[in-house]
Amino acid sequence: MQTKLTKLLGIRCPIIQGGMAWIADASLASAVSNAGGLGIISAMNAGADWVREEIRKCRAMTDKPFGVNIMLMSPHVEEVAQMVAEEKVPVVTTGAGNPSRFVKMWKEAGIKILPVVASTALAKMVERAGADAVIAEGGESGGHVGDLTTMALVPQVADAVKIPVVAAGGIGDARGVVASFALGACGVQMGTRFLVAKECTVSEEYKKKVLAAKDISTMVTGRRLGHPVRAIKTTYTNQYAKLEADSNFPDEKLEEFGVGSLRLAAKEGNTEKGCFLAGQIAGMVNREQTAAEMIEEIMADVEKRMEGVQWDV
């Protein structure tokens, strides 16, 4: 299926994989890219050497386009931004900030730039800076969330910019893809569904939690420190929420409480101290499949649902 997004990126299906910290490595990224979507390696808080290694592994496993997600709050953001330009990765997505200062360098390296935005203001800013498309991510998503829902954000971003818009947050199957087209997007980004891909190397405990999740199984914590994140409700999120609500508990201690929790969930499957980031559609994710099975199933269902529908996507 061709849309503005597939044409921009040279991919077969308008599906981008979310850049999930501690999870989205060369294994998942190459599987998604080989399946016709755009696989993404998460640079999270890692140094340039680790990310470069994953890029090289990914290149060995796929000849299709793939991308790197750069989390702009990372302490290593400058060196990673430089390194992806040197490596000339096909695509960069960004999250949790404004990437405008890197756009010139990435464009000179021939990289397609797709910042994740949670507001029309940032969408306009990155368009002016030279972004190729924007990913409008609503607060139904897992991980770091903005205030608006996908339903409210995507059409407003689509009105605010001329570049292609990708919808993210709360999309887990063909219904979400078709709804995204109706909202003015020409593709989607999905994270939570890919958590249970066979090629996803996340801990088994993490996959089990996503598979067991219901519609109301996630919650947002971290608002007090200014970086709200959505995760599956666990002992950890309940404890965090209590400490966050306690005005006598100092900010520094709250910050400390969160340190290492993403790694403990993703790598060690620690159900006591881990923070299992996932989006609101976790309740729809009920079985493990290969990334190719997921993408084929979704695209076949999209085509069925779009029969007779003429939209300019």
Q: What Å distances lie between residue 62 and 32, 35, 65, 84, 281, CA to CA?
A: 10, 10, 8, 17, 29
Among positions 11, 70, 92, 118, the unique one binding ligand TUI when judged by CB under 6 A:
118
Q: Which is nearer to ligand TUI, 223 or 304 (CB)?
A: 223
Q: Is 304 exposed, middle or buried (0-12, 13-18, 19+ CB in 10 A)?
A: exposed
For ligand TUI, the binding residues in 223-262 under the rule CB under 6 A are 227, 229
144 interacts with ligand TUI by CB under 6 A: yes
Give the Cα separation of 224 and 154 in Å (integer): 26
137 interacts with ligand TUI by CB under 6 A: yes
Among positions 47, 97, 155, 260, the unique one binding ligand TUI when judged by CB under 6 A:
97
Tokens of 60: 């060995």
Q: Which is nearer to ligand TUI, 8 or 148 (CB)?
A: 148
| φ/ψ bin of 210: left (φ > 0), alpha (ψ from -120 to 50), beta (otherwise) | alpha
Stretch that binds ligand TUI, among 4-12, 143-151, 205-213, 241-249 (CB under 6 A): 143-151
193 interacts with ligand TUI by CB under 6 A: no
21 interacts with ligand TUI by CB under 6 A: yes
Q: Per-residue b/e over 80-119, b at no fewer than 16 CB within 10 Å?
A: bbebbbebebbbbbbbbbebbebbeebbeeebbbbbbbbb
Site mask for ligand TUI (CB under 6 A), range 153-172, x = bound: --------------------
Binding site for ligand TUI (CB under 6 A): 21, 71, 73, 95-98, 116-118, 122, 137, 143-146, 227, 229, 277
